[in-house]
Amino acid sequence: MKIALILLALLALPACSLFHPATGKGSTTEAAPSAYTRIEFAGARATPAERGACEAVGGSIQPSGRLQWDNCVQPFADAGKACSGKADCVGECRYQGPAEMVSGASVTGKCQFTDARFGCYKTVESGRIARTLCVD
């Protein structure tokens, strides 16, 4: 009997997600993707559970930084989109043009492709290069 109730509940859940409470009508559109959450590992190497959590959100395990610790590197949904500041992106708005551009120059950036923290890059705020960072 318990198993039958559990199966019935599992079958009913998808139908619940199609009901729009404000209109009282069903919806044929998909729900918006869940918000980005950075996945951090407790130690230098990812445990099997941490690996599974990373891969479940489309991430990959990459050794990063000077110490080459495992990191879950996740792609951003708005990767490569034109931007003028962080407010336009899930991650940072980064300048990807000629290296000789200096802070304060007027530019259009691109939303960063992944949440990788390491490397050198220029951030864009209010349509201008805000700063250059190198993280190792």
The pLDDT value recorded for residue 12 is: 38
Q: Per the structure, how many domains does the chain have?
A: 1
Asked if residue 100 is part of any domain, the answer here is: yes
Distances in Å between the Cα of 41 and the Cα atoms of 46, 56, 61, 74, 107 are 6, 15, 10, 13, 35
The pLDDT value recorded for residue 2 is: 39
The pLDDT value recorded for residue 118 is: 92
Two structure tokens written together for 106: 């007027």
The pLDDT value recorded for residue 104 is: 84
Asked if residue 25 is part of any domain, the answer here is: no
The pLDDT value recorded for residue 85 is: 97
Asked if residue 6 is part of any domain, the answer here is: no
Residue 117 is classified by DSSP as -
The pLDDT value recorded for residue 46 is: 97
Asked if residue 82 is part of any domain, the answer here is: yes
Structural domain containing residue 88: 76-136
Asked if residue 124 is part of any domain, the answer here is: yes
**Tens place of pLDDT for every residue, the chain, 136 residues?**
333 333 333 333 333 333 333 334 443 333 334 579 999 999 999 999 999 999 999 999 999 999 999 999 999 999 999 999 999 999 999 999 887 877 788 899 999 999 999 999 999 999 999 999 999 8
Residue type for 9, please?
A
Asked if residue 5 is part of any domain, the answer here is: no
Asked if residue 23 is part of any domain, the answer here is: no
Asked if residue 128 is part of any domain, the answer here is: yes
